[in-house]
Amino acid sequence: MATEEKIAEDTGHRIENMWLNFGPQHPSAHGTLHLIIEVDGERIVSSIPHIGYLHCGFEKLGEHRSYNQFTAIADRMNYLSPMCNDIGWSLASEKLFDVEITERCALIRMIVMELSRIADHMFATGMQAVDIGAFTWFLYGWRHREEIYDILERCCGQRLTTSYSRIGGLMRDMDDTAVEMALDTARRLPKTLDDMEGLLKRNRIWIDRTCDVGSFTTEQALNWGYTGPCLRAAGVPYDVRKDEPYLLYNEVDFDIPIGEHGDVFDRWNVRMEEMRQSARIVQQCCEKLEPGPINTPDNRFHLPPRERLYDNIESMIMHFKQVMFGHGTRPPKGEVYCRTEAPNGELGFYIVSDGTDNPYRVHVRSPSLMQFSAIPEQINGRMISDVVAIMGSLNIIAGELDR
């Protein structure tokens, strides 16, 4: 301080910190994240995050759509793993409607969710590496990511906007070829992951850029509402699949990797290990899968089979009831909160129902919001280059963050 005052006296100029816009068009700002940072040289003094560039009013829109229609909105929120959002929404609705699903449906949902988790982690870790400068690395995993998208395409006809899940069932069955493809991918994945890890895990530059960068203690992570790999990297073994099991997660064998320091390296490491565990889950589910119905026998929730439509009056009425506005299935009045483990953390849907066929209020607890809100805590006092490493490690999805 004394030097600054002296310079000011000598030259008549005051030295001030510079304010810098980081994003929203910065290539490493993952979509539309905007940080205003105050820098002293290259060191960050303070920072203000701004969000909302991608605010679409999904929650407001949900109040004007029926329960099944919102599935299509839910999967546009997270464009890396739309399956997890679809199924998360369906599980929340099923909790509200009090519907049970069939075993085959539960297993298929688990398979597609875990495949999406692998694809999401592959992208998250890959982009993290690209942001730091390791471009080749993510291409190694791209092959499996393409395979996974082929499987999803075979299941529902879409690679990105899947809308696969329905209340009480699925849009259509997963055929044997798709199951074989999933099994094949899950079997070959660990080998690829070993290769990928070998490229980075003991790489000097990688370690320098990631170790002890953005460290979070257990208390900090819990206080800031971190979930998913970022929380587990800080040493908390919280995984909704284990702590509040849904579907059949309690019957498959998998482990929860946890880190120690909560830094960028640990987050990367936890994600790599989680992909292996997801591959294990996919294998077990594929082996358990047996032929059977995928929809609940309660025909209030899905369209009747097409061939029944022409010779059966009940089916025809049910079909019209399903597709006409204001005639859909009505849930009981009440409020439910349902959490699932999405790839970047705990994804929760809070539904308020007033007994009509549209939700009265939909609230999405998106993991990205909590993770981005703690950005100033993590980057203040660090270098500008660390911002890129930290933002990449959080796996923030702007669509879900701004909703």
Partner 1 sequence: MDDVSRGVNYYKLSAATREQREGDIAIQKRALELLRERFGEAILTVQTVRDDITVTIRPDTLKEMLALLRDSDELKYNFLSSITGIDYMRYDIPEEWGEIRFGVVYNLFSLEKHANFAVRVVIPEGEPVPSIYDMWRTADWQEREAYDLLGIEFAGHPDLRQLFLYDDFEGEHPQRKDYPLKGKGERDRSWLKIQKAARGES
Q: State the amino acid at position 254 in one-letter form.
A: F
* Positive or negative torsion for Cα 243, 241, 86, 291: negative
Where on the chain is the footprint of partner 1 (CB under 8 A)? 51-52, 55, 57, 59-61, 63-64, 95-96, 98, 100-104, 106, 222-225, 236, 238, 243-245, 247-248, 250-251, 290, 292-293, 295-297, 299, 304-305, 308, 312, 314-315, 333-337, 339, 346, 348, 350, 352, 354, 360-361, 363, 365, 369-370, 373-374, 402-403
**Least Cβ distance, residue 385 to partner 1 (angstroms):** 26
Q: How far is the CB of 305 from partner 1 (least distance, A)?
A: 6
Minimal distance in Å, beta carbon 197 to partner 1?
A: 29
Residue 386 structure tokens: 């660390």
β-bridge pairing 43-50 and 165-166 = unpaired
Judged by beta carbon, residue 117 or residue 403, the one nearer partner 1 is: 403
Is residue 122 within 8 Å of residue 145, measured between CB atoms? yes
Measured on CA atoms in the order 162, 167, 172, 174, is the torsion positive or negative? positive
Instruction: Report, in Å, the least distance between residue 2 CB and partner 1.
Output: 32
Closest approach, Cβ 345 to partner 1, in A, equals 11
Identity of the amino acid at 246: Y
Nearer Cβ to partner 1, position 183 or 352?
Answer: 352
Task: Compare residues 315 and 329 and give the one whose CB is closer to partner 1.
Answer: 315
Q: At closest approach, how far in Å is the CB of 214 from partner 1?
A: 16
> How far is residue 385 from each of residues 194, 275, 379, 392, measured CA to CA in Å?
28, 27, 10, 11
Pick 139 or 317: Cβ nearer partner 1: 317
Q: Which is nearer to partner 1, 74 or 127 (CB)?
A: 74
CA distance 270 to 341: 15
Residue 362 to residue 353: CA distance in whole angstroms: 9
- Cα distance between the two ends of the chain: 44
Q: Which is nearer to partner 1, 76 or 159 (CB)?
A: 76
Looking at residue 70, its amino acid is F
